[in-house]
């Protein structure tokens, strides 16, 4: 395996209480578990557990892209309307380009499950050669937005946002990431599909 084949993923859980040990963080374990089932190509996680402080979030995202070399960063928490929820502001502050389709689609997926999804303010941006996406805070909602909506037979009736992530990473110069179609089928135009490893 070449070093440039390895997808580096930053996983950032943003929670005042979890970061001070009031309760155990659930965000990073949920993300690691989902990515382990979804990705079939090599990947490595860089994890951070931080408080809901805009300066700390911005600093963490910059460090993960500029110094740790992450190609993808998934944040969890801090995206609601509460006064302490500043993850979207921090994300937009460090981004070079906004990718509004991700936030729009996450809210649309979550509205299949809860009417309060409309209160979510998740955003996604490109910083240099990295895609940064704000995910919801709850493990169940994380899985639903990444993987999509399934019917009673387990068939996907509304694709999750991760279907678009590998091709986005291709377009910004990152490694070719492959997924298990049983979990999430990555979409690429035929011209961008490589033969299986």
Q: What is the pLDDT of residues 46-100, one digit of tens each?
A: 999 999 999 999 999 999 999 999 999 999 999 999 999 999 999 999 999 999 9
Give the ranges where the chain is alpha helix by DSSP (H): 16-19, 27-38, 54-66, 87-94, 100-110, 139-147, 165-171
Which tokens in the block code for residue 197?
């490893």
95: nearest Cα among 128, 69, 68: 128
Residue 147 has pLDDT above 80, yes or no: yes
- Quote the pLDDT of residue 61: 98
Q: In whole angstroms, what is the distance from residue 11 CA to residue 144 CA? A: 17
- Quote the pLDDT of residue 2: 53
97: nearest Cα among 74, 143, 128: 128
- pTM of this structure: 0.95
Distance between terminal CA atoms of the chain?
Answer: 11
pLDDT digits (tens, 9 = 90+) for 15-54: 988 888 888 899 999 999 999 999 999 999 999 999 999 9
Domains in the chain, CATH or no CATH each = 3-192 (3.40.980.10)
Averaged pLDDT for residues 110-124: 95
């Amino acid at each position: 395996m070449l070093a440039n084949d390895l997808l580096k993923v930053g996983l950032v859980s943003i929670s005042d209480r979890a970061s001070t040990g009031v309760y155990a963080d659930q965000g990073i374990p949920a993300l690691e578990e989902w990515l382990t089932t979804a990705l079939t190509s090599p990947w490595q996680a860089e994890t951070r557990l931080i408080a809901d402080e805009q300066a700390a979030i911005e600093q963490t995202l910059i460090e993960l892209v500029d110094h740790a070399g992450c190609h993808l960063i998934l944040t969890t928490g801090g995206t609601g309307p509460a006064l302490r929820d500043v993850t979207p502001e921090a994300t937009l502050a460090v981004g070079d380009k906004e990718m509004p389709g991700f936030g729009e689609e996450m809210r649309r997926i979550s509205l299949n499950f809860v009417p309060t999804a409309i209160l979510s303010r998740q955003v996604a941006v490109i910083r240099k050669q990295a895609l940064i996406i704000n995910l919801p805070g709850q493990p169940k909602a994380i899985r639903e937005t990444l993987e999509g909506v399934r019917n009673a037979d387990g068939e996907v009736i509304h694709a999750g946002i991760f279907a678009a992530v590998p091709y986005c990473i291709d377009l910004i110069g990152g490694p070719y990431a492959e997924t298990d179609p049983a979990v999430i089928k990555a979409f690429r135009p035929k011209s961008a599909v490589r033969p299986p490893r």
